Structure 1
Amino acid sequence: MTDPQVAIMMLGLFIFIIMFGFPVAFTLMAMGIGFGYYAYFDGGRMWAGYNRALNSDADTWTLWESWISGFFNNRVFDLFVNQTYSVMANDVLTAIPLFLFMGYIVERANIVSRLFETLNLATRRMPGSMAVAAMITCTLFATATGIVGAVVTLMGLLAFPAMMKAGYDKRFASGVICAGGTLGILIPPSILLIVYAASSGTSIVRLYAGALLPGLLLAGMYLVYIIVRAYFQPQLAPRPPERDESVSSLHVAWMMLTSFFPLAVLILSVLGAILFGLATPSEAAAIGALGGLALAAAYRALTWERLQESVYLTVRTTAMVCWLFVGSWVFASVFSYLGGEHVVRELVQSLSLTPLQFLILAQIIIFLLGWPLEWSEIVIIFVPIFLPLLPLFEIDPLFFGILIALNLQTSFLSPPMAMSAYYLKGIQPKNVELTQIFAGSMPYLALVLVSMIVVYNVPGIVYYLPQLMYGR
Structure 2
Amino acid sequence: MSYELIAILMFALMMLLMITGQRVFAAIGFVAVIFAFFLWGTGGSEMGFNQAMKIMKWYPLLTLPMFIYMGYVMSETGIADDLYKMFHVWFGPVRGGLAIGTILLMVVISAMNGLSVAGMAIGATIALPELLRRGYDKVMVTGVIQAGSSLGILIPPSVVLVLYAMIARQPVGQLWLAGVFPGLLMAGLFVLYIVVRCLIQPQLGPVLPADERAMPIKEKLKLLSAGIAPFFIFFMMTGLFLMGVTSLVESSAVGAVAATIVAVAKGRLTLRVLHTAVRKTLGISCMFMWIIVAALAFGAVFDGLGAVKAIESFFIDQLGLTPWQILIMMQLSYLIMGMFLDDTAMLVIVAPLYVPLVKLLGFDLIWYGVLYTITCQIAYMTPPFGYNLFLMRAMAPPEVSLGDIYRSIIPFVAVMLLALVIVMVFPQIALWLPQHLYLRQ
TM-score by length of 1: 0.90
Corresponding residue of 2:122: 154
Structure 1 gap segments, 5+ residues each: 42-73
Corresponding residue of 2:235: 268
Corresponding residue of 1:65: none
Give the residue type in structure 1 aligned to 2:261: A
Q: Is the 8 A contact 1:39 1:337 kept in 2?
A: no
Give the residue type in structure 1 aligned to 2:15: I
Q: Is the 8 A contact 1:103 1:145 kept in 2?
A: yes
Q: Is the 8 A contact 1:7 1:339 kept in 2?
A: no
Q: 1:225 aligns with which of 170, 184, 193?
A: 193
Q: Secondary structure at the match of 1:40?
A: helix
Q: Distance in 1 between matches of 2:45 and 2:330?
A: 33
Q: Distance in 2 between matches of 1:109 and 1:173?
A: 25
Corresponding residue of 1:55: none
Establish whether residue 125 from structure 1 lines up as the match of residue 93 from structure 2.
yes
What is the Cα deviation at residue 383 of structure 1? 2.0
Corresponding residue of 1:203: 171
What is the Cα deviation at residue 429 of structure 1? 4.9
Corresponding residue of 1:67: none
Establish whether residue 247 from structure 1 lines up as the match of residue 215 from structure 2.
yes
1:446-465 equivalences in 2 (<5 Å): 446-465=414-433
Q: Is the 8 A contact 1:186 1:211 kept in 2?
A: yes
Give the residue type in structure 2 aligned to 1:316: G
What is the Cα deviation at residue 151 of structure 1? 1.5
Q: Is the 8 A contact 1:116 1:133 kept in 2?
A: yes
Q: Is the 8 A contact 2:178 2:430 kept in 1?
A: yes
What is the Cα deviation at residue 244 of structure 1? 1.9
Q: Which has the larger radius of gyration?
A: 1
What is the Cα deviation at residue 17 of structure 1? 1.9
Corresponding residue of 2:437: 469
Q: Is the 8 A contact 1:143 1:183 kept in 2?
A: no
Q: Distance in 1 between matches of 2:110 and 2:435?
A: 26
Q: Secondary structure at the match of 2:111?
A: helix
Q: 2:267 aligns with which of 289, 295, 300?
A: 300
Q: Is the 8 A contact 2:95 2:207 kept in 1?
A: yes
Q: Is the 8 A contact 1:221 1:447 kept in 2?
A: yes
Q: Is the 8 A contact 1:96 1:318 kept in 2?
A: yes
Corresponding residue of 1:428: 396
Q: Distance in 1 between matches of 2:63 and 2:315?
A: 35
Corresponding residue of 1:10: 10
Q: Is the 8 A contact 1:266 1:291 kept in 2?
A: yes
What is the Cα deviation at residue 370 of structure 1? 1.4
Q: Is the 8 A contact 1:39 1:338 kept in 2?
A: no
Q: Distance in 2 between matches of 1:113 and 1:342?
A: 52
What is the Cα deviation at residue 364 of structure 1? 0.8
Q: Is the 8 A contact 2:308 2:357 kept in 1?
A: no
Corresponding residue of 1:62: none
Give RMSD over aligned pairs.
Answer: 1.6
Q: Is the 8 A contact 1:88 1:322 kept in 2?
A: no
1:366-445 equivalences in 2 (<5 Å): 366-445=334-413
Establish whether residue 325 from structure 1 lines up as the match of residue 330 from structure 2.
no
- The worse-fitting range, judged by mean Cα deviation, of 182-191 and 4-13 is 4-13
Corresponding residue of 1:68: none
Establish whether residue 22 from structure 1 lines up as the match of residue 43 from structure 2.
no
- The worse-fitting range, judged by mean Cα deviation, of 413-422 and 298-307 is 413-422
Q: Is the 8 A contact 2:236 2:258 kept in 1?
A: no
Give the residue type in structure 2 aligned to 1:29: G
Give the residue type in structure 2 aligned to 1:107: S
Structure 2 gap segments, 5+ residues each: none
Q: Secondary structure at the match of 1:277?
A: coil
What is the Cα deviation at residue 143 of structure 1? 2.2
What is the Cα deviation at residue 80 of structure 1? 1.9
Percentage identity across paired residues of the two chains: 27
TM-score by length of 2: 0.96
Q: Distance in 1 between matches of 2:399 and 2:131?
A: 12
Q: Distance in 2 between matches of 1:407 and 1:276?
A: 30
Q: Distance in 2 between matches of 1:436 and 1:358?
A: 35
Q: Distance in 2 between matches of 1:252 and 1:459?
A: 40
Give the residue type in structure 2 aligned to 1:303: T
Q: Distance in 1 between matches of 2:352 and 2:398?
A: 41
Give the residue type in structure 2 aligned to 1:374: D
Q: Deviations over 1:62-112 (max 9, x none)?
A: xxxxxxxxxxxx113432222112112211211111000000111100111
Aligned length: 439
What is the Cα deviation at residue 32 of structure 1? 1.6
Q: Is the 8 A contact 1:208 1:275 kept in 2?
A: no
Q: Is the 8 A contact 2:91 2:97 kept in 1?
A: yes
